[in-house]
Amino acid sequence: MKKTLLFLTLLFASPTVFAQDFPFGQVSTEEIEMKKYDKDTSAHAVVLNEYGTSRIILASDNYTKVVFEYHIKIKIFDQSQFSKGTLEIPVYNGDNDAYEEVEDIQGTTYYKDENGLQQKAELDSKQVFRTKKSKHWTILKFAMPALRNGCVIEYKYRLSSPYKENFHSWEFQSDIPKKYSEYQVHIPAFWSYNASLKGHLKLTRNVADLESTCFTYGTAKCDCSHMVYGVSDIPAFVAEDNMTSPKNFLSAINFELVDYISFVNGSKIKYAKEWRDIDYQLKQEPEFGGQLKRKDLMKDRISAAITGKTDDLSKAQAIYAFLQKWYKWNNFIGIYSTDGIKKAFESHSGSVPDINLSLVAALNSAGINTEAVLLSTRENGFINTLYPALGDFNYVIAKTNIGDKSYLLDASDPYLAFGMLPLSCLNDKGRAFSLDKPSYWIDLGTTQQRESITYTYDLTLQDNGKLKGTLTRYFGGYSGYERRKAIKKFNTPDEYVENFGEKLPKFKILKSSIINIDSLDKPLGESYEVEINMFDNTNHNRLAFDPFILNKITTNPFKLAERGYPVDWGMPSDERYILTVHLPEKYAIENPPQEVSFFMPNKGGKFFTSFDGNSNSFTFSYLTSFNKSVYGPEEYPYLKELYNKIILAEKNEMVFKKKS
Amino acid sequence: MSRILILLYPLLFCGAAMGQNNYDASLISKDLLPHASAIVRNDDVSVDVKDLDNVIYHEKKAITVLNKNGDELAHMAIFYDKNIVVRYIKGLAYNEYGKIITRFNEHDFQDESAGDNSSLFQDERVKHYIPSITQYPYTIEYEYEVRNKQTLNLDSWIPIPATSLAVEKSSYTFMCKPDFNIRYKEINIPGKVVTAATKDGLKTYTWQIAQIKAFRDEPYSPNWRQYLSRVIIAPERFSYYGIPGSFTNWEQLGRWEYDNLLKNRTSLPDQTVRYIKNLTADISDPKLKAKKTYEYAQQKTHYISIQVGIGGYRPFLASDVDQHGYGDCKALVNYTQALLKVAGIDSYYCVVYGNTDEKLSMLDDFASMQGNHAILCIPFKNDTTWLECTNQQMPFGFLGDFTDDRTVLACTPEGGKLLHTTKYSTEQNLEKRKADFILNEAGELTGNMETVFKGTNYDERNTVIEEAPVERIKHIKKYYPINNLEIEKLEFKQDKSRQPVTTESIRLSAHEYSAVDDGKIYFSLNSVDRYTHPPKMVRNRQMPVYINRGYTEEDEINYTLPKGYHLISEPLSVTINKPFGSYSGIMIPDGNKLIYKRKFQIKDGTYAKETYQELVDFYQSVVDADNYNVTLVKN
């Protein structure tokens, strides 16, 4: 849930008295004596107060800067949250004179000593460590002194940054509860931002005020808008398994620069506002539109790959496969080409934007209409579709349009089939851009093929108690991609098969074949001729047999009584299993497996087994399918029950009885 | 052993011209290909000790990468710090046929902090680079030289530092002046050292190997230190950060460490001294004094990694720890030692290899800087007591599985001493469970279960115990494979004595625990403590079988069955005895009761490689017995 708060059209309330930052260096007896947090007695620590301000100022060096001040006081009940006493502040150093700076770090720990006397220990500024992590990033780190159970820590610092487009956001929620958290911003009218609040928490304090002539640059003067966002009694955020980025659900407020007044000529410069502005900006951007225009560059380079191909689809597939093999991804993602596609192409190495922008250019050069799609990966959180902004996009793919169909492509991974996206990209919506049309939203998940696995086992019980026959497995859609990656971890398919056999001590692999390893568009197939050491002999009167053999799930992955957030698997999936067993003359089936079926409401998913047998042979099969990518918390009990049914079905044991 | 080891490869070096060898991939012997992702074609390392504070390392290495998995093996990473200066790096890449495709130099390398994010500070840095080549096979040949300003740590030679890597040829030459004496130890080196003298009168020691196959990751392998080929070298005289020293044995090395790194770092503020004196004044038993003091240190301090000071060897002053309340392992050991001294108790600062998966000891017969962690030893008469100082929860005198049963170096004013830490035996490391379960006709399971954890199993539940009650229940459910498990009550008790015990009590229920169908009830007999997969088999195993830790599991479940049903499955009765362990699982029907008893024991030790298949078969039998299903039928 999101809502937009627009600054520009605010009707300012009559002058209000604003609460200022809470005083530094004071702790109450109550805070020191606090034994637990009443509103969440399970908390190991609680934020007593958190306060931040951001303001744009004219610094002494005549540059305008965003100054962010942060102040927090935390009660730590026990040592499991001592980590809250270690702080890390990443600081960006730009290429030129632009760099961020942290100043005035102060910290105090209040505690009761062995004699029950209240003491305090100050953070020693010599104990603030600075590590140059990489070319652009320096990390400041410090640990609060004298932590012990029941202590209160308090620290503050100031971070100034020349990057007004990265106006500091504010996270109201964290993994420990907060009594109160407040953020105040002072923004001169020369700049305007969109603010968006996300998460389910409601502001308990929200005030707007006007500060007159608060900002001067030479002769230019303006007023500032002063906004206060406060939330009290914030619960701790508890992450759950199979959810997307916690960022999607944490309550926070973000700012996106809309426009600003140039101090050179007084004109208003749009940073971003309408999509058409962003489209124009991207088109003009040398590292984005500039690269998409380089069709001619790619034309010669791909001509060999498409010789002899007549229709657009096979051309597109050939170009995609060619670039997948050509490039080695350098582990960087983003939306702008790093060194340009020419250099990337020549060096065989590039970031995701290098590779996929060259894919877009190459497909267009072959006359196949293709757009670039910007998206936000799952780890990065959902994209904000409320107002136009580039800030949250962190990945770019290609969308190629052939006839009335379109395909989403990512050439940075050599094992992705044509039209398949990696799981990390399946995150709600993306924005499609081209050089000649306005941009628009697309759904990312709709063209993804479902995961689909089929197991077909055909086995014959021998007189010596061994089962002999073939195991065949087909991995289609995304599961084919995952299986190929697993196979490629081995030097050869033979080593993969060897490892598969080694994990199954009761199995002897007599022969194996793996098909379609490199035909990415087809299901990957594995077939094994095996001999399974199932029974020591066939002299027993009763043989207990588990028809699931290799396909057992031993525990239910869903253990919570209820769930607060959706289960997000990214795509639907199917698993089919067909087992055929032939018995020797002397045995008959005494106890066939129970037939089980379970259907989730609204065709959300199903599990059922079936059995068909005569005296000497039988076929047992099951189907598990999940038809949705995302299941809401209200569907959670059904998911859990579906797995419960699978496990119950597995408990049933078949019995083969010797004919008398 | 993981591939990451390649990054730890020592800083090395040598000196032939580049680009004159034939790196055609087809020249690699077929024998070297199985299980190899990359092949070292040639690696020449030379170490030239020019002076006590000037060592030149030179390495020239060519490596052929056969497939994508080998890229990481060709990852060039050169670590450096204040003591090490990188003089140059240059290299070439060749295609499959040995033709040059690209050149690179130091500018192509990325320079980053090598510290892990969990450290507050670490001053080590790394320059690293992987060329992007998409056609396999390809060959990287590179050469670099670094200058090291110390001679205490002379780099070892580990010619095959990773799995999936085969070696055509590799050599190491150590060069020094006639008056510079070294000791060396050859471990798993097929050949012998060749010693000689150069024209300039320098002594040289050379080792080489050739045609070594890639080894695989084999489960239950000993630590790589036991089986990899390596040569370790120690100086007789050295200089370290300007501090001179000399040693030929542990006694001398320990004395040097005490005198130069540890001495005079234990003074404390008066207030703390007074407090400790008061705290222990009325206690006469020195062990109780020590316990009280240790517990004071635990509640006052906590662990934070900070790697500064002399190469990360010298602890912070005790007075700094007193003020900040935190420190790394060295600082906290030194601080605890200082407090104990105030209480009148002598203790030893000990250097140890901390490692949970493998017990690693100081090499008895070869003194050099070894270890990665510090602990404290109190030499009470007939009751040597060991203290881990980086953990606030650890009972006094309990070490746990990170530092138990291994040889450590105690650095004392009287010199270094090798001591051995506490061993917890197979019988002591116990997880013992007793449960009373009632199964009803609808398939529901209800009952109580109590589990006792002892020895190194004592802290098994600590991560759960640290959680808040609601979270504890979520976590504990992951330990028990009981379908539809609901925890109605969960309690933990910890007895923090010298032989500590954790007791877990659970009241539970599980609907549809058993499957009910057509007058039959199916349920798993062992739902609380079971193995689901045996270790994987290894054909042509190379390594002996190493079992790091012995332990015992004992389970007893008393089931009350629904009335009017009888058992039709053959009762379980399995007993296995092997040199490395034993197992028994039995089921005793008794009216509407059913008693299940299980005992599993694995014994630590090193066993012949032929034993491995027996171990796999053992576990397979355990898996089968643990997953036994009971069928009941209505009368």
Average pLDDT over residues B153-164: 93
Tell me if A603 is assigned to some domain: yes
- Which residues numbered 400-429 in B keep a CB inside 8 Å of some CB on A? none
* Domain end (from A251, A270, A289): A270
* Residue B20: pLDDT over 70: no
Tell me if A644 is assigned to some domain: yes
Average pLDDT over residues B361-381: 95
- Interchain CB distance below 8 Å, A328 and B111: no
B299 and B335 assigned to the same domain: yes
- Confidence (pLDDT) at A3: 41
CB-CB neighbors (< 8 A) of B113 in chain A:
131-134, 139
B142 and B33 assigned to the same domain: yes
Q: What is the mean pLDDT of chain A?
A: 90
Using the Cβ of B523 and the Cβ atoms of chain A, whether some distance falls under 8 Å is answered with yes
- Confidence (pLDDT) at B618: 97
- Interchain CB distance below 8 Å, A559 and B485: yes
A253 and A320 assigned to the same domain: no
Residues in chain A: 660
Tell me if B144 is assigned to some domain: yes
Tell me if B425 is assigned to some domain: no
A281 and A266 assigned to the same domain: no
- Confidence (pLDDT) at B416: 97
Please list, in sequence order, all residues whose beta carbon lies within 8 angstroms of the beta carbon of residue B262, skipping any fewer than 6 positions away: B314, B315, B334, B349, B411
B312 and B188 assigned to the same domain: no
The residue of chain A with its CA nearest to that of B121 is: A129
Number of structural domains chain B divides into = 3
Instruction: Look at residues B484, B529, B515, B442 and name the one whose alpha carbon lies nearest to residue A651.
Output: B515
Q: pLDDT > 90: what percent of chain A?
A: 63
Please list, in sequence order, all residues whose beta carbon lies within 8 angstroms of the beta carbon of residue B633, skipping any fewer than 6 positions away: B519, B520, B521, B565, B566, B567, B568
The two tokens of residue B614 are 């027996």
* CATH value at residue A457: 2.60.120.1130
In this prediction, residue B7 has a pLDDT band, given cuts at 50, 70 and 90, of very low
Phi, psi of B243 (to 5 degrees): -95, 120
B395 and B517 assigned to the same domain: no
Average pLDDT over residues A571-589: 94
Please list, in sequence order, all residues whose beta carbon lies within 8 angstroms of the beta carbon of residue A24, skipping any fewer than 6 positions away: A71, A106, A108, A154, A156
A192 and A339 assigned to the same domain: no
Cα within 13 Å of Cα(A308), Cβ side? 3
* Domain end (from B420, B439, B470): B420
* Domain end (from B207, B240, B273): B240
pLDDT digit string, tens, across residues B91-150: 999 999 999 989 999 999 988 888 777 777 777 889 999 888 888 999 999 999 999 999
* CATH value at residue B158: 2.60.40.3140
Tell me if B245 is assigned to some domain: no
B201 and B266 assigned to the same domain: no
Evaluate whether A537 touches A646 at the Cβ level (below 8 Å).
no
* Residue A119: pLDDT over 50: yes
B347 and B468 assigned to the same domain: no
Evaluate whether A653 touches B631 at the Cβ level (below 8 Å).
yes
pLDDT digit string, tens, across residues B179-196: 999 999 999 998 889 999
DSSP string covering A204-255, please?
SEEEEEEEEEEEEETTEEEEEEEEEEEEEEEPPP---TT---GGGTS-EEEE
Average pLDDT over residues A428-457: 92
Using the Cβ of B37 and the Cβ atoms of chain A, whether some distance falls under 8 Å is answered with yes
Q: pLDDT > 70: what percent of chain A?
A: 97
A367 and A499 assigned to the same domain: no
Residues in chain B: 635
Tell me if A361 is assigned to some domain: yes
- Interchain CB distance below 8 Å, B120 and A129: yes
* Residue A659: pLDDT over 70: yes
Domain extent, residue A157, equals: 2-12+39-270
- Confidence (pLDDT) at A19: 60
A253 and A373 assigned to the same domain: no
Best residue of B65, B522, B618, B630 to probe chain A, by most A CBs closer than 10 Å: B522
- Confidence (pLDDT) at B1: 31
The three-class DSSP label of residue B610 is coil
To the nearest whole angstrom, how far is the Cα of A55 from the nearest Cα of chain B? 30
Question: Cα(first)–Cα(last) distance of chain A, in Å?
Answer: 69
Q: What is the mean pLDDT of chain B?
A: 92
A499 and A410 assigned to the same domain: no
- Interchain CB distance below 8 Å, A43 and B468: yes
Distances, alpha carbon B396 to alpha carbons A148, B400, B404, B412, B495, in Å? 19, 11, 14, 22, 11
Tell me if A214 is assigned to some domain: yes
A225 and A316 assigned to the same domain: no
Evaluate whether B355 touches B412 at the Cβ level (below 8 Å).
no
A406 and A470 assigned to the same domain: no
- Interchain CB distance below 8 Å, B326 and A143: yes
- Interchain CB distance below 8 Å, A488 and B115: no
* Residue B12: pLDDT over 90: no
- Interchain CB distance below 8 Å, B323 and A653: no
Evaluate whether A440 touches A431 at the Cβ level (below 8 Å).
yes
In this prediction, residue A247 has a pLDDT band, given cuts at 50, 70 and 90, of confident
* Residue B380: pLDDT over 60: yes
- Confidence (pLDDT) at B491: 96
Using the Cβ of A135 and the Cβ atoms of chain B, whether some distance falls under 8 Å is answered with yes
Distance from C-alpha of B139 to C-alpha of B99, rounded to nearest angstrom: 9
- Confidence (pLDDT) at A295: 85
Query: Count of A–B CB contacts within 8 Å?
Result: 147
Residue tagged 């969440």 (tokens): A40
Tell me if A153 is assigned to some domain: yes
Using the Cβ of B112 and the Cβ atoms of chain A, whether some distance falls under 8 Å is answered with yes
* Domain end (from A389, A409, A443): A443
A311 and A425 assigned to the same domain: yes
The residue of chain B with its CA nearest to that of A540 is: B570
Using the Cβ of B66 and the Cβ atoms of chain A, whether some distance falls under 8 Å is answered with yes
Number of structural domains chain A divides into = 3
CB-CB neighbors (< 8 A) of A145 in chain B:
323-326
The residue of chain B with its CA nearest to that of A149 is: B299
pLDDT digit string, tens, across residues A605-619: 999 999 999 878 999
B159 and B234 assigned to the same domain: yes
B87 and B232 assigned to the same domain: yes
* CATH value at residue A53: 2.60.40.3140
DSSP string covering B125-176, please?
EEEEE-----SSSEEEEEEEEEEES--SSPPPB-S--STTEEEEEEEEEEEE
- Interchain CB distance below 8 Å, B302 and A147: yes
CB-CB neighbors (< 8 A) of B117 in chain A:
88
- Confidence (pLDDT) at B13: 32
pLDDT digit string, tens, across residues A137-167: 899 999 999 999 999 999 999 999 998 888 9
* CATH value at residue B403: 3.10.620.30
The three-class DSSP label of residue A357 is helix
Distance from C-alpha of B240 to C-alpha of B247, rounded to nearest angstrom: 13
Best residue of B536, B616, B621 to probe chain A, by most A CBs closer than 10 Å: B536
- Confidence (pLDDT) at A473: 97
pLDDT digit string, tens, across residues B77-93: 999 988 899 999 999 99
- Which residues numbered 196-255 in B keep a CB inside 8 Å of some CB on A? none
pLDDT digit string, tens, across residues B267-324: 999 999 999 999 999 999 999 999 999 999 999 999 998 876 666 789 999 999 999 9
Using the Cβ of B536 and the Cβ atoms of chain A, whether some distance falls under 8 Å is answered with yes
The residue of chain A with its CA nearest to that of B296 is: A114
pLDDT digit string, tens, across residues B387-405: 999 999 999 999 999 999 9
B279 and B310 assigned to the same domain: yes
- B368-403 exposure pattern, b = at least 16 Cβ within 10 A, e = fewer: bebbebbbbbbbeeeeebbbbbbbbebbbbbbbbbb
Best residue of B37, B299, B304 to probe chain A, by most A CBs closer than 10 Å: B304
Distance from C-alpha of A135 to C-alpha of A129, rounded to nearest angstrom: 17
A116 and A245 assigned to the same domain: yes
Tell me if A19 is assigned to some domain: no
- Confidence (pLDDT) at B562: 95
A488 and A373 assigned to the same domain: no
B234 and B265 assigned to the same domain: no
- Interchain CB distance below 8 Å, A647 and B69: no
* Domain end (from B420, B454, B475): B420
* Domain end (from A424, A443, A462): A443
* Residue A9: pLDDT over 50: no
Phi, psi of B455 (to 5 degrees): 60, -140
Distance from C-alpha of B144 to C-alpha of B128, rounded to nearest angstrom: 12
The two tokens of residue A356 are 């996929």
Distance from C-alpha of A469 to C-alpha of A509, rounded to nearest angstrom: 10
A283 and A242 assigned to the same domain: no
- Which residues numbered 524-553 in A keep a CB inside 8 Å of some CB on B? 542, 544, 546
Domain extent, residue B285, equals: 250-420
B272 and B392 assigned to the same domain: yes
Q: Which of A145, A556, A651 sits opposite B523 (nearest CB)?
A: A651
Evaluate whether A173 touches A105 at the Cβ level (below 8 Å).
no
Distance from C-alpha of B142 to C-alpha of B131, rounded to nearest angstrom: 11
pTM summary value: 0.88
B545 and B627 assigned to the same domain: yes
Tell me if B234 is assigned to some domain: yes
Please list, in sequence order, all residues whose beta carbon lies within 8 angstroms of the beta carbon of residue B354, skipping any fewer than 6 positions away: B372, B373, B402, B403
* Residue B4: pLDDT over 60: no
Provide the pairing of β-strand B581-590 with B520-524.
Answer: unpaired
Tell me if A21 is assigned to some domain: no
Backbone conformation region of residue B605, classed left if phi is above 0, alpha if psi is from -120 to 50, else beta: left
Using the Cβ of B485 and the Cβ atoms of chain A, whether some distance falls under 8 Å is answered with yes
Distances, alpha carbon B462 to alpha carbons B143, B286, B457, B501, in Å? 49, 29, 10, 12
Based on the number of CB atoms within 10 Å of its own CB, is A50 exposed (0-12), middle (13-18) or buried (19 or more)?
buried
